[in-house]
Amino acid sequence: MSRWAAVLLALLLPGCWGYHTQADTPGRIRSIAVEAFQNRTLYTGLEFELKEALVKEVQAKSALAVVPPGVADAVLEGKILEFSRSVLKQDPDGRDVEFQIVLSAEFSLRERRTGKLLFDREPVNASRSFLLIKGETEATARERGMSRLAEKIVNVIVLHW
């Protein structure tokens, strides 16, 4: 390697040493349990869909290990407050063709050992529209809506740290 390349590397590398794609967490919080949220809606199964989406999002966006509640450093829990479906557009014959799904949840994060509340948040909302004429389904929109809600929840946690 030439002397100039070595000098250039010596100047550029220190700025990269602290770079990583996952968020830092407090040193004492290295693992998290994601509980199934209480479902306050009339739609069954939402709590399991949200839990699955949250686990995926935590694994993708943080350095936290997802573990069972009994061994976790922190426990994420909450309530699904709303799941609604509304018609946005009809075709000329009066058939519903575009819909919107709206989801809302509140959550808290507690330190397991001490019970200390790390987070207690106002409701987080997510929405997703879908078009029947494009072959989209309510199930797909619901899954994407859950992913978006999970993303928002995890972003709040990650950005807090």
Residue-level length of the chain:
161
Cβ burial, residue 102 (10 Å; 0-12/13-18/19+): middle
Instruction: Using alpha carbons, list the distances in angstroms from residue 133 to 27, 91, 128, 137, 144.
Output: 50, 10, 16, 10, 18
Annotated domain spans of the chain = 3-160
Is pLDDT larger for residue 17 or for residue 129?
Answer: 129
Instruction: Please give the average per-residue pLDDT across 92-103, as a whole number.
Output: 92
Q: What is the pLDDT of residues 55-72, one digit of tens each?
A: 999 999 999 999 999 999
The amino acid at 27 = G
Q: Which three-class secondary structure string do you get for 62-127?
A: ECCEECCCCCCCEEEEEEEEEEEEEEEEECCCCCEEEEEEEEEEEEEEEECCCCCEEEECCCEEEE
Second CATH level (architecture) for the domain 3-160? 2-Layer Sandwich (3.30)
Is pLDDT larger for residue 39 or for residue 161?
Answer: 39
| Average pLDDT value for the chain | 85
Instruction: Using alpha carbons, list the distances in angstroms from residue 51 to 34, 47, 74, 84, 158.
Output: 7, 6, 15, 19, 17
Record the pTM. Answer: 0.79
Structural tokens at position 120: 């207690």
